[in-house]
Amino acid sequence: MFRIRTAVAAAAVATIAALAVAAPASAHDELVASTPAADAQLTAAPAELSLTFSNNLLSLDENSGTAITVVDATGEDWVDGEPVIQADSVTVPLAEGMPNGDYAVTWQVVSSDGHPTSGEYSFSLAAAEASATPSATPSETADEQPEPAETTQPAQQADSMQWPLLIGLGVVVLAAIVIVIVIAARRKR
């Protein structure tokens, strides 16, 4: 009876230790602010896009894993330069001449814990058109209507990143239980 309690206690300790080790690994830095903001409806095209995170970002070299796209409904990316990381913020310049419509922003950065984290959001642009421009024909305006951009929900991305962690945690717990059972069986002999 004593050996069974010892085995159960050891399994519990191993499980708690595995959970304690895995908990910090699942906490990545989060996006806390953006300019333009998510779901913003702008009346003038922005000159740059800026993202602010909950902690300083890692910037190891040119290939640091930081990437940002600002894509319109036709699939054109309006980022016009390399991302610049400063502490907890990353900024990219945007090209001039952005047309009215919806824009999908996707980003990937390296968190302060060294793990990549990513997400996306959207904003729209409805700038006033110049009055000197001749009015468009109905067929031209039909061509200008943006189609909704396909987006993946950030929650789905976070869920897909947690599966390897959960599988690894399960393997650690299973291995701890097997070790405890083997030790208990050897002590019985």
Would you put residue 114 in left (φ > 0), alpha (ψ -120 to 50) or beta?
A: left
pTM over 0.75: no
Name residues whose C-beta falls within 8 Å of residue 32's C-beta, 6 or more positions apart in sequence: 52, 53, 54
Helices (H), 31-107: none
Query: What percentage of the chain has pLDDT greater than the value 90?
Result: 39
CB atoms within 10 A of CB 121: 19
> Which has more pLDDT, 152 or 80?
80
Residue-level pLDDT at 120 = 96
Q: Which two tokens stand for residue 179?
A: 């070790």
Instruction: Report the pLDDT averaged over residues 163-171.
Output: 62
**CB-based contact 156:130 (threshold 8 Å):** no
**CB-based contact 52:34 (threshold 8 Å):** yes
Please, which pLDDT band fits residue 17 given cuts at 50, 70 and 90?
low
Residues in the chain: 189
d(CA 187, CA 189): 5
Is the per-residue pLDDT at 128 higher than 70? yes
| Beta-strand pair 89-93/84-86 | antiparallel
Question: Sheet holding 84-86: strands in order across?
Answer: 31-35, 48-53, 89-93, 84-86
